[in-house]
Amino acid sequence: MRTAKITRKTAETDISVEIGLDGTGRYDIATGVGFFDHMLDQLARHSLIDMTVRCQGDTHIDDHHSVEDVGIALGQALAKALGDKRGIRRYGSCLLPMDDALVRAALDLSGRPYLVWSVDFPTQKIGGFDTELVREFFQALSTHGGITLHVDALHGINSHHIAEAAFKAVARALRDAVETDPRKADAIPSTKGAL
């Protein structure tokens, strides 16, 4: 089974993350940030990656450290669970509508972190959540997961919908990319022989 557990403790956050790539999208998420929990629920549910996430962070300052550091830990967990990436499809993409919002995600589990982020939010906040933290999360996930990740919002007028569509689009793309390809089950999907 392709699973990983990461614990990460700093002066700002205390995090544990457990994932199973070959899961059914079961989730148990408690980060101390309500809207972020809602987004991670979507990420697990739509990637079919089982996820348990716990974060105790300095949310008395703001949500920034908690969101960024969970992104770091989840990225590290993904990289660890993927191992040498033998047999994976490697690429994934998704064009995901949610009411007014339409978000495109394309990713490559290349080992080369690169984020292209073209998502504008019409409001600075979703409830008490800073919309700029959505990018911070995906930047951390990309950097620490070794993921080339492109996310473009093609349309959207509601910030909650845009954020949720982004998480769901990345989730669906991840689902495809981490899946093993039965035609190439023993091969590392690169002409270089390593990812």
- Is the CB of 108 or the CB of 164 nearer to Mn ion? 164
Find the angle CA(40)-CA(1)-CA(185) to the nearest 5 degrees. Answer: 105
- Is the CB of 73 or the CB of 133 nearer to Mn ion? 133
Tell me which H or E stretch contains 97.
strand 91-98
- Is the CB of 13 or the CB of 42 nearer to Mn ion? 42
Site for Mn ion in 120-179 (CB under 5 A): 164
Token representation of residue 19: 């994932």
Q: Contact 86/186 with Cβ under 8 angstroms?
A: yes
CB of 160 to Mn ion, least distance (A): 6
Residue given tokens 């614990």 in the structure block: 7
- Is the CB of 63 or the CB of 164 nearer to Mn ion? 164
Q: Contact 92/172 with Cβ under 8 angstroms?
A: yes
CB of 185 to Mn ion, least distance (A): 37
Site string for Mn ion, 79-118 (x = CB under 5 A): ----------------------------------------
What separation in angstroms does the CA of 83 have from each of 50, 75, 145, 171? 17, 13, 11, 19
Token representation of residue 53: 């996430």
Q: Contact 3/21 with Cβ under 8 angstroms?
A: yes
The overall longest dimension of the chain from CA atoms, in Å, is 50
CB of 151 to Mn ion, least distance (A): 18
Residue number of the CB closest to Mn ion reads 164
- Is the CB of 69 or the CB of 164 nearer to Mn ion? 164
- Is the CB of 99 or the CB of 181 nearer to Mn ion? 99
CB of 164 to Mn ion, least distance (A): 5
Rounded distance between C-alpha atoms, residue 34 and residue 75, angstroms = 21
CB of 38 to Mn ion, least distance (A): 6
CB of 195 to Mn ion, least distance (A): 34
Size of the site for Mn ion (CB under 5 A): 1
Binding site for Mn ion (CB under 5 A): 164
